[in-house]
């Protein structure tokens, strides 16, 4: 995916897909890509074995990982 500086529209799919873990369990990534300038979207399936409440979430892509301590609230 090529990002063009100054373009008003952007798009593309990340390849390979990032590794996303919620509550320490790998989530299934259905889509990961650039949907507009500076905005990435990640569609994931939350592991069904997770308990309700705040769970840690991390994403790794190539040599980059999200900041530790980010939480996702899970409620079923």
Partnered with residue 56 across adjacent β-strands are 71
Mean pLDDT score across all residues of the chain: 90
What is the model's pTM?
0.83
What is the 3-class SS of 4-24, one letter each residue?
Answer: CCCCCCCCEECCCCCEEEECC
Structural domain spans, the chain: 12-74
Beta strands 12-13; 28-36: pairing state: antiparallel
pLDDT tens for each residue of 23-45:
999 999 999 998 888 889 999 99
């Amino acid at each position: 995916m090529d990002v063009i500086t100054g373009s008003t529209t952007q798009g593309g799919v990340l390849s390979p897909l990032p590794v996303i873990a919620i509550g320490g369990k790998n989530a299934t990534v259905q889509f990961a890509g650039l949907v507009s300038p500076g905005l990435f979207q990640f569609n994931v399936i939350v592991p069904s074995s997770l308990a309700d409440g705040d769970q840690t979430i991390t994403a790794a892509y190539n040599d980059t990982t999200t900041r530790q301590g980010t939480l996702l609230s899970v409620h079923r």
